[in-house]
């Protein structure tokens, strides 16, 4: 069933007293979409006991058979979208292979439309909730790369390949941040992962540093204990010598 048929069906049910919320639930449509159809096409609910003076001719309601056909069409498309097999659908609804192919095309178009709406919703939510985090992440990642590159350059055994990798990553992330600020266009999943990867590597470096610090402190504590033992031993020896004298 194409979009116009669906709109006509919803309009008829709305004019016969069915509420928008119920229509949305029944036909799996968003409230905003149905409201826009109502406004654009001027849907009006039929007035009960309205005066008949100068009343326009009553519109003929769709025959029950037509309504049943529309409901059948919707059920077929829903089954296709749910993944029912071709043979099951053809057998259950008594349709030919040619009819099945046509309805499959309609279902694919419906799935595409739903997917586009879903992706738009995701992008909107991500854009609102993640924009600040991503911008902050780009600045942090750039600063970390500068620090790491500087450390590598100043090390006794500088790894040129590492410095080049840091420089390339810095340029890439800087461009991402600039593009995001200039156009407002959300980064791709790959670009966000690149930023997160740099931040994760920095976190790993920080954890390694903390481990090394802990080991050094532990070794220092051991040395300090040994030093105390030696001092105590020397004191004992010195005391014994003095007593002998």
**pLDDT tens digit sequence for 150-202:** 888 888 788 888 888 878 888 877 877 777 666 655 556 556 666 666 666 66
Q: What is the pLDDT of residues 94-126, one digit of tens each?
A: 888 888 888 788 777 776 776 666 666 656 665
End-to-end Cα, the chain, rounded Å: 115
112 neighbors 136 (Cβ within 8 angstroms): no
What is the pLDDT, as a whole number, of residue 122?
57
Report the pLDDT averaged over residues 40-51. 71
What is the pLDDT, as a whole number, of residue 14?
86
43 neighbors 11 (Cβ within 8 angstroms): yes
Q: Is 174 exposed, middle or buried (0-12, 13-18, 19+ CB in 10 A)?
A: middle
Residue with the bigger pLDDT between 107 and 127: it is: 107
Rounded distance between C-alpha atoms, residue 182 and residue 177, angstroms: 9
Q: Which residue intervals of the chain are DSSP H helices?
A: 3-15, 20-27, 31-41, 64-82, 86-93, 97-154, 160-183, 189-244
What is the pLDDT, as a whole number, of residue 230?
64
Q: What is the pLDDT of residues 202-244, one digit of tens each?
A: 666 666 667 777 777 766 666 667 667 767 766 666 665 555 5
27 neighbors 74 (Cβ within 8 angstroms): yes
198 neighbors 141 (Cβ within 8 angstroms): yes
Burial 189-207 (b: 16+ CB within 10 A, else e): eebbebbeebeeebeeeee
What is the pLDDT, as a whole number, of residue 171?
83
What is the pLDDT, as a whole number, of residue 143?
82
Length of the chain as a residue count: 245
Rounded distance between C-alpha atoms, residue 113 and residue 123, angstroms: 15
Indicate whether this model's pTM tops 0.85.
no
């Amino acid at each position: 069933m194409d979009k116009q048929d669906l709109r006509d069906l919803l309009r008829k049910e709305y004019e016969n007293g069915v509420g928008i919320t119920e229509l949305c639930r029944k036909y799996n449509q968003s409230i905003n979409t149905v409201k826009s159809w109502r406004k654009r096409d001027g849907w009006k609910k039929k007035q009960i006991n309205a005066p008949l003076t100068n009343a326009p001719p009553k519109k003929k309601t769709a025959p029950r058979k037509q309504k049943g056909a529309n409901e059948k069409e919707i059920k077929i498309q829903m089954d296709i979208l749910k993944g029912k097999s071709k043979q099951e659908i053809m057998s259950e609804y008594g349709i030919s292979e040619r009819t099945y192919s046509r309805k499959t095309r309609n279902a694919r178009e419906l799935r595409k439309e739903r997917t586009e709406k879903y992706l738009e919703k995701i992008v909107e939510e991500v854009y609102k909730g993640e924009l600040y985090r991503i911008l902050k992440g780009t600045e942090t990642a750039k600063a970390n790369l500068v620090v790491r590159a500087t450390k590598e350059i100043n090390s006794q055994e500088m790894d040129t390949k590492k410095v080049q990798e840091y420089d390339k990553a810095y340029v890439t992330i800087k461009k991402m941040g600039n593009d995001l600020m200039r156009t407002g266009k959300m980064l791709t999943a790959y670009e966000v992962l690149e930023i997160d990867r740099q931040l994760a590597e920095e976190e790993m470096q920080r954890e390694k540093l903390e481990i090394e610090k802990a080991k050094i402190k532990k070794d220092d504590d051991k040395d300090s204990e040994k030093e105390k033992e030696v001092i105590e031993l020397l004191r004992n020896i010195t005391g014994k010598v003095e007593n002998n004298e």
